[in-house]
Amino acid sequence: MQLEGKTILVTGATDGVGRVVAKRLAAEGANVLIHGRNQQRAEQVLREICGARVRPKKGMATFYQADFASLAEVRKLAEILLQERERIDCLVNNAGIGSGTDKNHRQLSSDGFELRFAVNYLAGFLLTRLLLPRLVESAPARIVNVSSLGQQDIDFGDVMLEKGYNGTRAYCQSKLAQIMFTIDLAHEVDRSRVTANALHPATYMNTTMVRDSGNSPISSVEDGADAILKQIVSEELAGKSGLFFNGQREARAIAQAYDEEARAKLKALSMRLTGLS
């Protein structure tokens, strides 16, 4: 994909790897739609992008505020984007939260769902479903789901983890759900029009999420941004869909991701929880 003039939505773009990706895209001439919760952080990113006037291909950036712990705010975000944007060439579902500082403390979203499942998975599921017709109209378009090597089977008897809650388990379950959704999208949408792939960008990047989870960074956000940008622009990935990548290399998720029955259960649950069915 040639980035100049393309419209790319990056969720969670006011901090961490999303911020780096947004700035790089704008530097290459893309019109970047920056999503985040925090107005002040967003203004700083916009200043950094708009102040880089030495860039010969400097693109534009626009901030869209929404809290992904609320499905109502996700719906409002999609509504505004569909009103304001005639095309969306790429959607990068990057917004997310880690396992938390207190891994035994179970939190709920404003809709009453386990917080990590809601923010890391359900919000992106709903946003993607609502924007999918516009992505198809903008073909060839791409969906990039920023997932993780940290994955754990979904227990459909206790998806909201009411029994024996653990933050790491919650995070890993939500990331597997993203990959399962990615594979479903590849089966549903003509890959000559829209591709969907998931990736683990880099291990323990130097982000707020990693530090808040009590882990020491071992890679950089620049490493992760390189992997995400490859998903957006690489010609070798044209027409390839439903894949999982570890960094810049194709890899395999855990077995449940490829279980059709499990994916069907997850899809039915997700459609019900998000009010799409």
The side-by-side arrangement of strands in the sheet containing 7-10 is 61-65, 31-36, 7-10, 90-93, 141-146, 194-200, 244-246, 249-251
CB half-sphere exposure, 44, CA atoms < 13 A: 9
Contacts for 223-227: CB closer than 8 Å, 24+ residues apart: 223/247, 224/17, 224/20, 225/17, 225/20, 225/21, 225/24, 225/201, 227/199, 227/201, 227/202
Q: What DSSP designation does 257 have?
A: G
| 195 in Cβ contact with 144 (< 8 Å) | no
Residues annotated as catalytic are: 171
Residue 186: C-alpha distances to residues 100, 167, 181, 193, 254 (Å): 31, 29, 9, 11, 18
CA–CA distance, 179 with 183 (Å, rounded to integer): 6
